[in-house]
Chains A and B, each alone.
Chain A
Amino acid sequence: MRRTTLTVNGVRHELDVEPRELLVLALRDHLGLTGTNIGCDTSSCGACTIHMDGQSVKSCTVLAVQADGAEITTIEGLASNGEMHPMQSAFNEHHALQCGYCTPGMIMAAVGLLQENPNPTENEIRSDLEGNLCRCTGYHNIVKAVRAVAAG
């Protein structure tokens, strides 16, 4: 067991984790933050995407101990003061989700994308979201939602 400090959604946690424990499991199993989902075991699907020190990261590719000292935002921490983040509202407004399983990761990736590139073209959105799989929507409305947020 290794003592690990994580600041998640603004709250500091001290955890004892197995050295082989993945960050995504630490978030889900230790902190009960089950909004971050697991869709694969090959870092392919992006369902587990979070923000770590301001960057979007697949939390199944990071060991919890590697995240020691990091600032982490999960889907649960994206809304502020009870107001949904514009990306969350846009996903709702543009019907960019169906089963919702890819959605937390997709939203975190999309927010990260706009932080890097506030005015992406449709093609840039599509290639930037390449690490996030959705089996339900055909991506059409996801792209629409991201464009709407970019357009303000």
Chain B
Amino acid sequence: MATTEQPARHVGARVPRKEDPAMVTGQARYTDDLTVPGMLWVAFVRSPFAHATIKGIDTSAAKAADGVVDVFTGADLADDFAAPIVCAWPIVDDIKIPEHWPLTKDKARYAGDKVAMVVADTRAGAKDAAELVEVDYDPLPAVTDIELALADGAPILHDDLGTNLSMTWRHSEHSPVPARGKPEDVFPAADVVIKEKYRIQRAVPNAIEPRSIIVEPSPAQGEFTMWSATQIPHIVRTVLTLMTGVPEAKLRVIAPAVGGGFGSKLQVYGEEALLLVGSRKLGRALKWTEERQEAFVATTHGRDVVQEVELAADRDGTLRGVKVRIVCSMGAYMQLLTPGIPLLGAWLYGGAYESDAYDLEINGVFTNTTPTDAYRGAGRPEATYCIERAMDALARELDMDPAELRRKNFVPADAFPNHTIVSGLIVDSGDYHASLDRLLEALDYEGLRAEQKARRERGDNRLLGIGLSTYLEMCGLAPSRVAGAIKLVCGLWEAAQVRVMPTGTVQVMVGVTATGQGHATTFSQLVADQLGVEIDDVEIIAGDTKQMALGMDTYGSRSLAVGGIALHLAGEKVVAKARAIAANALECAEDDLEYDTGTFTVKGTDKTMHVKEAAFAAWTAHALPDGMEPGLEATHVYDPPNFSWPAGAHGCVVSVDTETGEVDIERYVAVDDCGVVVNPAVVEGQVQGGVAQGIAEALYEEAVYDEEGNLSNGSMTSYLVPTAAEIPPIETHHTVTPSPTNPLGVKGIGEAGTIASPPAVINAVIDALSGLGVTDVQRPATPQNVWRAIEEARQ
């Protein structure tokens, strides 16, 4: 067979990651790996009390200790800050946001609240001296439970606010888009109404790399370079400018290799501000690296929500309405996005289903706990858990198969593109029946139901359960106008810059920073195909505000769907300029050129010019078209017209031992639709990792506070991050419904696994035990919680 030479196609291929060689050989540089000449070490003094008045702080012994350079309290730094820690998402006008200083001055409001900062010449010296700081605490009663915090007589965290209730947001009142209908018009006449209550326990993100920060000043220039283990160097720069007055142009923030974030590094932390201010005060470089037990209290937590949901339906299973009230713990203070986290799920409590009416109320409450903020999925796992649990409850009430009930209510594929769902937002595309069908086939659903029945009939004490979760999520939050309408104080565009060098390699600057997602590989695949170069000829530069000044950073599964599109459109501009250069060089009209993977060909001839040649011509600038600027590069800032809306169907098969309460996952199957897939290996990796985190939430992890308000399992020996022995193999499948809103047809995939999996697992556990009358089990479904659910059902 004759072969014609085809340019290599990279998009869609399982390209091994370019990031890996440095990482597997120990050459990747994380913040704690870096050293700056003359740097000093920082340690923080943190309150051991969840709630206490600070009557005095004596730093004299610490200051006198060997190697200690200085010790600062909140009062010492009062004039060094222009503003307190910033909360950028005041979701309602009358929200109560307490003052939140990097070092608390009057009261400690959670165990871990920072009280003083010690600077010494060694890591150990700073730590030892922190023990010498004497703080006179007057302990107060603490409250860590969401519902107790709202009870009469509860200890009030912020005396000036007079209440622990920070805010109430109602869809019917605050959503910029109206719901299809009101619950009050639907519920009274409904055939069936079910009411459920769920508690989503608090989780600790536990990226394996603890946080670490270095600030190096250049006193003569008034400049500062910060290295930080962060997902958001650009936002850190802007917010620190607001907090400290260091001009943005004089503050360079670098996120080197970052060892996972999952939302916990989507933050501007007090520690970052303190190291900046401290280095300005002392004129010295400072470094701080968090220890793990410190991280348990000092790095933001996720979830901690109580949900009350009602569904209205016809007897035949047609869903009529969804009504939800949730109460969320903010923790002791507002961090960057704290109040906005539940809002990210506020339009998703109706799931992938049609119905007539929708309302949701969100309440935010202060408790004496570590502040909550984004944790993988942020708001959407909570919404998905609620609707997917409730759909199973409705199926039980109606005695319907849960797959059948879902199928009956899905938004049909022919409603797309751009279908307005019950909560009022416009969903780009989807085929939910296709994902579910694919899942049921992969699971052999009928076979499993038969096996389940057989085990029940023979009185097996290992009961089989099948749990489904057919999720719909929104990611790549956009456009900026919508961000404004829901009171987020920033835009949600993304930027990219493509520069073809004279020798034909390509330098790409992107505003999104990777924390393990494989941006360098995925983006190189896009560029290689678009410009007809090799993957290794593309250099991706990110995570440094000096090299790429524009960027909105990484969160909400936006890297490809927003950042990748910015990159694609910058590449289009480069191709357009190269076309003009080629037309000029080849003496034809631009329209006479065909373009394919880097090569322009004059139609009907063999005259060609490659983008690389155009780049050389653009550099010599000897014979450019009149008026053209030399150089072949372009920048694009992209503000997407809509979110992207991934969806899918996850299935979990468990065996539950009715005597011990032990849950074994026999199979976990994920079918995800994230539109066009650029690198299947990367996408599957995102799903597997996300599912593992969701399984962890469903079965293992919970941040537990004791009566006094201490985190009682604040270490890796007591807070059980699951190992390879607990996490099962995860089978991944895809369906592909391209997004019509962007030129690549892509959607996000970073959070889908964590969004979909907890209800799949818990639904499976309840499904296994439903014959015993079990309708609820407390998360995490530990043997103890499962056993308790069985006992309660027996009574």
Q: Do A and B come from one complex?
A: yes
* Chain A residues near B (Cβ < 8 Å): 18, 20, 28, 33-42, 44-45, 47, 74-76, 78-79, 84, 88-89, 91-93, 95, 97-104, 107, 122, 125-127, 129-143
Instruction: Given A130-B723, A132-B723, A135-B721, decide whether A140 and B207 contact each other with a Cβ distance below 8 A.
Output: no
> Is A139 a contact of B17 with CB atoms below 8 Å?
no
A138 touching B25 by the CB < 8 A rule?
no
Q: Choose, from B113-121, B335-343, B465-473, B685-693, the stretch at the interface.
A: B685-693
CB contact between A99 and one of B16, B210, B258, B690 (< 8 Å): that residue: B258
Residues B190-220 near A (CB distance < 8 A): 206-210
* Chain B residues with CB below 8 A from A78, complex form: 25
User: Are B26 and A75 in contact (CB-based, < 8 A)?
Assistant: yes
Contact B208 A102, beta carbon cutoff 8 Å:
yes
Which residues of A lie under 8 Å from residue B692 when comparing CB positions?
Answer: 137-140
Are A37 and B724 in touch, CB under 8 angstroms? no
Please name all residues of chain B whose beta carbon is closer than 8 Å to the beta carbon of A38 when the two chains form the complex: 32, 210
Contacting residues, chain A, for B209 (C-beta < 8 A):
37, 39, 99, 101
Check B291–A98 contact: CB distance below 8 A. no
Nearest B residue to A77, CB-CB: B26
**Complex Cα distance A91/B29, Å?**
18
Residues of B close to A136: CB separation below 8 A:
208, 260, 516, 685, 689
Smallest CB gap from A134: residue in B: B208
Q: Of the 9-residue stretches B595-603, B605-613, B725-733, which lies at the interface with chain A?
A: B725-733
Q: Which residue of A lies closest to B257 (CB)?
A: A100
Say which residue of B259, B691, B753 sits within 8 Å of A37 (CB atoms).
B259
Q: Are B516 and A100 in contact, CB atoms less than 8 angstroms apart?
A: yes
Is the C-beta of B442 less than 8 angstroms from some C-beta in chain A?
no
| A135 near B206: Cβ-Cβ < 8 Å | yes
Instruction: Please report the C-alpha to C-alpha distance between residue A75 and residue B689 in the assembled complex, in whole angstroms.
Output: 24
> Does B318 belong to the interface (CB within 8 Å)?
no
Do A88 and B25 touch (CB < 8 A)? Answer: yes
Give Cα distance in the complex from A136 to B723, angstroms: 12
Find out whether the CB atom of B260 lies under 8 angstroms from the CB atom of A99: yes
Taken together as a complex, chains A and B put the C-alpha atoms of A130 and B292 apart, in Å, by: 19
Choice from A47, A88, A137, A141 contacting B24 with Cβ under 8 Å: A88
- Chain B residues, Cβ within 8 Å of A135: 206-208, 260, 262, 689, 693, 721
Main secondary structure of the interface of A (DSSP, over half): loop
In the complex, what's the smallest C-beta–C-beta distance from B575 to chain A, in angstroms?
30
In the complex, A99 Cα to B209 Cα: how many Å? 9
Q: Are A42 and B293 in contact (CB under 8 A)?
A: yes
Residues of A within 8 A of B685 (CB): 95, 98, 136-137, 141
**Nearest chain A residue, comparing its CB with the CB of B27:** A35
B586 interface contact, C-beta 8 A: no
Whose C-beta in chain A lies nearest to the C-beta of B731? Answer: A140
In-complex Cβ contact of B715 among A35, A42, A140 (8 A) = A42
A92 partner residues in chain B, CB cutoff 8 A: 16-17, 20-21, 24
Which B positions have Cβ atoms within 8 angstroms of A? 16-17, 19-30, 32-33, 124, 206-210, 257-260, 262, 291-293, 515-518, 681-682, 684-685, 688-693, 715-717, 721, 723-725, 727, 729-730, 753
Q: Is the interface of B mostly helix, strand, loop or mixed?
A: loop
CA distance A143 to B292 in the complex (A): 26
A79 touching B25 in the complex, CB below 8 Å, given contacts A135-B207, A138-B689: yes
Q: Are A41 and B723 touching (Cβ within 8 A)?
A: no
Q: Write out the residue numbers on chain B whose beta carbons fall within 8 Å of the beta carbon of A138.
A: 688-693, 727, 730, 753
Contact call B25/A95, Cβ cutoff below 8 A: no
- 28 pairs from A and B in contact (CB 8 Å cutoff): A20-B124, A34-B26, A36-B26, A37-B259, A39-B259, A39-B292, A40-B292, A41-B292, A45-B292, A76-B26, A79-B25, A88-B25, A91-B24, A95-B685, A98-B516, A99-B260, A100-B19, A100-B23, A100-B24, A100-B516, A103-B24, A129-B724, A134-B208, A135-B208, A135-B260, A136-B689, A138-B730, A140-B729
How far in angstroms is the closest Cβ of chain B from A22? 10
Q: Is the CB of A125 within 8 A of B25?
A: no
Q: Tell whether, in the assembled complex, residue B716 and residue A139 are in contact, meaning their CB atoms are under 8 Å apart.
A: no
Known: A44-B715, A98-B516. 5 other contacts (CB 8 A): A18-B124, A41-B715, A97-B24, A99-B207, A140-B730
Docked CA distance A140–B729 (Å): 6
Question: What's the minimum C-beta distance from A61 to chain B, rounded to whole angstroms?
Answer: 13
Q: Whole-angstrom distance from the CB of B241 to the nearest CB of chain A?
A: 28
Smallest beta-carbon distance A4→chain B, Å: 17
Residue of A whose beta carbon sits closest to that of B16: A92
Please report the C-alpha to C-alpha distance between residue A76 and residue B291 in the assembled complex, in whole angstroms.
Answer: 24
Bound-state Cα–Cα, A72 to B291, Å: 25
Closest 3 CB pairs of A and B: A35-B26, A101-B259, A99-B516
A-chain residues with CB within 8 Å of residue B210 when the two chains form the complex: 38-39
Would A34 and B29 count as touching, CB distance under 8 A?
Answer: yes
- Cα separation A68 to B725 with both chains bound (whole Å): 34
Task: Report the minimal beta-carbon distance from A148 to chain B, rounded to whole angstroms.
Answer: 13
User: In the complex, A107→B259 CA distance in Å?
Assistant: 16
Distance, CA A103 to CA B517, complexed state (A): 15
Report A43 CB to chain B, min CB distance, Å: 8
CB distance from B523 to the nearest CB of A (A): 16
Q: A97-B24, A135-B260, A140-B688 are in contact. Are A40 and B727 (CB under 8 A)?
A: no
> Who on chain B is nearest to A18 by CB?
B124
Q: Contact between B716 and A133 (Cβ–Cβ < 8 Å)? A: yes
Closest to B753 in A: A138
- The reply to whether B208 and A39 contact each other, CB–CB distance below 8 Å, is yes
In whole angstroms, what is the CA distance A132 to B291 when docked? Answer: 17
- Which B residues are in CB contact (< 8 Å) with A143? 724, 729
CB atoms of B20 and A91 under 8 A apart: yes
Q: Contact at B25–A76, with CB atoms within 8 Å?
A: yes
Q: A88-B24, A100-B257, A101-B208 are in contact. Are A133 and B721 (CB under 8 A)?
A: yes
A130 and B725: CB pair below 8 A? yes
Among A84, A99, A103, A142, contact of B724 (Cβ-Cβ < 8 Å): A142
Q: Please state if A74 and B26 are interface contacts (CB–CB under 8 Å).
A: yes
Q: Which residues of A contact B33 (CB under 8 A)?
A: 28, 34
B682 CB contact (under 8 Å) in A20, A40, A95: A95
Q: Which residues of B contact A100 (CB under 8 A)?
A: 19-20, 22-24, 28, 257, 259, 516
Give the Cβ gap from B477 to chain A, nearest Cβ, in Å: 22
Our pick among B28, B259, B291, B727 for the contact of A139 (Cβ within 8 Å) is B727
